[in-house]
Amino acid sequence: MEKKYDFPVVREKLDRSDGVDTGYDTLYRSDTGDNLGVVSRKYQMVKHSDAMEMVFDILDRMKLEHSEPRVKLSGQGKRMYSSIPFPDMRFNPTEGLEDFNGKEDFDPVMRVHNSYDGSLKFSFLYGVEKLICTNGATVFKAAQSISLRHVSKNIDFDKIRPLIESSLNKTIVKTKDQVNKLVSEDGFSYLNLIMAESILANTYKRAIIEAIGENHIDSVKDNRGNIVEFSEGTDPFTAYYLWNIITNVSTHKIKSANVQADVDAMITKHFF
């Protein structure tokens, strides 16, 4: 396994050109010379490799089978976003439902985030990933998270380990239960809540209504307050069906990253 997150990091005092101490330190990669950030003396550096090795040690002790981590680095290695899937815990909440063609597999995952420049907290997130597009794009729904700032010995591996161990299995089970529950919940109670959110742009509301189409009998108000009627259909309009629709719309039609993040937060709030 290639450990692209494992590279040498050097921390040195940052002086001015005249030799005066600035009170800050500089971090850089000694293998490439790339700058990783300027930090205060109170900044607690955690290497990406140390964070990942701690997680692997925990998973080994818990005897949890996992796939190789998917790791993305940005800013020459300043930030790390990693995702560790647990394929043995894969589940399909729509198994047996013809409408979904058996392609609704979810992978429980643990995500590990870290940064050298302070732009990301040292974080562990538990949840599920679902494939939403043939281009390989996935959506992630977190069930629980642990986040720590890189400040003055705030990050203690000995204290973090038991938190991760006690939470991991519990949150995976919780997330599976949440997703499975959506299959039996009626979608219109969720739809009325979502349509009432001021955060939704008019085009987004219209896109949801278009995506629902004329498949279901009931009505909601569009962005202008007009009643939109849906004709009778055969498919059950479950919360899971609605979640799929608005997740698809938000990930494919919303261009602004900030707006999409807000919409994702709104979706999570209502469905989970």
What is the 3-state secondary structure of the chain?
A: CCCCCCCCEEEEEEECCCCCEEEEEEEEECCCCCEEEEEECCECCCCHHHHHHHHHHHHHHHCCCCCCCEEEEEHHHCEEEEEEECHHHCECCCCCCHHHCCCCCEEEEEEEEEECCCCCCEEEEEEEEEECCCCCCEEEEEEEEEEECCECCCCCHHHHHHHHHHHHHHHHHHHHHHHHHHHHCEHHHHHHHHHCCCCCCHHHHHHHHHHHCCCCCEEEECCCCCEEEECCCCCCCEHHHHHHHHHHHHHHHCCCHHHHHHHHHHHHHHHC
Contact of 28 with 13, CB cutoff 8 Å: no
pLDDT digit string, tens, across residues 66-79: 999 999 999 999 99
Average pLDDT of the segment spanning 267-271 = 80
The total of structural domains in the chain comes to 2
Higher pLDDT, 83 or 228: 83
Residues 143 and 60 in one domain: yes
Average pLDDT, the chain: 81
Average pLDDT of the segment spanning 26-46 = 95
Structure tokens at 218: 């009931």
pTM for the whole structure: 0.76
Residues 87 and 207 in one domain: no
Give the CA angle between residues 163, 167, 171 to the nearest 5°: 155
Residue 182: predicted pLDDT: 87
Residues 142 and 116 in one domain: yes
In a domain, 166, yes or no: yes
Boundary (domain end) residue, out of 132, 150, 180? 180
Residue 103 predicted with pLDDT over 70: no
Average pLDDT of the segment spanning 118-147 = 82
Residues 231 and 198 in one domain: yes
Residue 100 predicted with pLDDT over 70: no
Average pLDDT of the segment spanning 215-223 = 56
Tell me whether residue 270 is exposed, middle or buried, using C-beta atoms within 10 angstroms of its C-beta: 0 to 12, 13 to 18, 19 or more: middle
Boundary (domain end) residue, out of 180, 205, 239? 180
**C-alpha–C-alpha distance, residues 37 and 55, integer Å:** 25
Residues 163 and 51 in one domain: yes
Among 80-84, 195-199, 229-233, the range scoring the smallest mean pLDDT is 229-233
Residues 149 and 219 in one domain: no
Residues 167 and 152 in one domain: yes
Boundary (domain end) residue, out of 180, 215, 235? 180
**C-alpha–C-alpha distance, residues 147 and 154, integer Å:** 11
Name the band, by pLDDT with cuts 50, 70 and 90, for residue 56.
Answer: very high
Among 93-107, 127-141, 238-252, the range scoring the smallest mean pLDDT is 93-107
Residues 150 and 257 in one domain: no
In a domain, 5, yes or no: no
Name the band, by pLDDT with cuts 50, 70 and 90, for residue 214.
Answer: low
Residue 228 predicted with pLDDT over 70: no
Average pLDDT of the segment spanning 13-30 = 94
Name the band, by pLDDT with cuts 50, 70 and 90, for residue 205.
Answer: confident
Residue 233 predicted with pLDDT over 70: no
Residue range of the domain that includes 110: 43-180
Contact of 117 with 28, CB cutoff 8 Å: no
Residue 234: predicted pLDDT: 47
**C-alpha–C-alpha distance, residues 4 and 142, integer Å:** 25
- CA quadruple 200, 205, 207, 208: dihedral, nearest 10: 100
Residue 88: predicted pLDDT: 85
